[in-house]
Structure formats: structure tokens, C-alpha cells
Structure 1
Amino acid sequence: MGLFSFRRKKQSPEEQAEMLYTEGMTLIANNMWDAAYNSIRQAADLGHRGAIGQLAMMHIFGQGCEQDPETGLTLLHRAVELGNLYACYAFSVLYDHGVPGVTAQEAEAMCALAANAGMEEAAARMEQGFDMEGSA
């Protein structure tokens, strides 16, 4: 045995998820979507709410994976349930982009949740209002 013990502390699932999420987001920042997908997916599998929201958007827009809006919206709802305010706000962004399956009512309700929790972007979006005509 040497003078120094360099044992690596075992990471908790939360620490591991945060590390994977950070790695994935760094890859995304460098426009390396395909490489980011695995890190983001692994972090999401560990329950990281930010990763779940990011994975949802990747599926909705087909970045780093096959486009699958249905899976993306399911993941986005899960992120909201875990308290991800950006996932709440994302519904208004998706509505503004005309993503099928996102109604004005849902976008407004989710955006209001984020605005009421103090998210400035969501509050500003709420001021614009949502066109309810033609919405289901």
C-alpha cells in the first residue's frame, strides 16, 4: 500500500446524474447532439429533472435522436411533475412553434405555473397572451 490512498468516493445517483447532465449540456453547447444524447438519457434515467426536460426537447425536435414528439411530450410532462420550471415554460415555446399536441390552454396553464414561481421569461410570455381560437 502506498503513502496516499486515492480511492475514489462512490458517487450517489444524484451526483452521477448531475455529472452526466453537465457533460451532456456541454456537448450540446458545442453542437455535438449525437454525443450528448447518451449522457442526457443516462442522467434522465437517474431521475434528473433537467435532463428529463432536455431529453424531451431532443425527442420533440429530433436533435441527437430520431424525432418523436409523442415521447417528447410524455417526458416533458414527467419533468413538470418533478418541478422543472423550464419544462413548464417549454410548453409555451412548443405552442409558439406549432408543435402538434400542445394546445393554447395547456401552454398557458404551464406557462402560468412557471410565471407564478418567479420565472421572468414565463411572466413576459404570459403578458403576450395565448390565442385560444381553434384550440382544442
Structure 2
Amino acid sequence: MKEIKICEKTIRVRATPLALFFYRKEFKSDLLSDLIKLSAGMLGLAAAVTGSKIEELKAEELAGLNASSFDMAALSAFDIDVIGIMQITWAMAKADSLGERFPSFEKWFLDLGDFDVLGGLPSLLAALEVAASGFLRRGAQQGL
């Protein structure tokens, strides 16, 4: 289990087989396939913003990013799916809350409040890191 902060809320997430099940059931898609696609776009964006190579990215470099950090037109070069990353996060949060009532994705997402995509980049990457380290252990070690 890991805690990540999204929109000033602390979310407990766990990358377990149950999260794979919840994701498939709710979104009719495979979490692992989606994770691989989502990771490439996010890591590419993070590297472009910080000027680092993907394998050399550090969390400190991502903290405090905002719209003034780079040219907004650069976003079009990356396949960024914030909703997709939040869906993976929801499935892992639901898996961590097994046995407790857990809101639908829409309610959970709405309850997060305002979300600054660029300022939230560290949180989005943290969620992908938890998923990659839990579901793709070998991939996570190689910088996925």
C-alpha cells in the first residue's frame, strides 16, 4: 500500500490483482495494456518539461510544475490521458478499500475537487509508479 496526494487529498492505493478486476469490470478495458500506453506519454511529457532523460527523472524536478514551466503547445506532442490515469488510481484505491463502501469512479473523481493537470504531474506520475511497480515489476525497475 502506498499513499499519494491528489488535489490535497491523501489516497491509499494498492496494485493487486483485485485492482485489475475492478478496472476491467468498471472500464471494460485491460489495466496493464492501458498502463503501458499511459506511462509512455506521461514520462515523455515529464522529461520534456524538466529537460531530463526519462531514466534520470527525479521527483524533486517535478514538484511545483505549472503552466509557466513550458510551452503549452508542447502538450500536443504527448498522448496524455489524465482520466485514464485517474481510472487506474481509482481501481487501486478501491482494491485498497476492500470490504468498505467505495464510491463509483464519477463520484470519487468529483469528490477530488479542482485538479491542476500540470501541478498534479507529480501525483499522476506517482500513481503510475505504484501501478508499474506492482503490476510490471521488471518494467518498473527499467524506468517504466
TM-score (norm 1): 0.24
TM-score (norm 2): 0.23
Greater fraction of residues in strand: 2
Relative contact order: is structure 1 or structure 2 higher (C-alpha 8 Å, sep ≥ 6)? Answer: 2
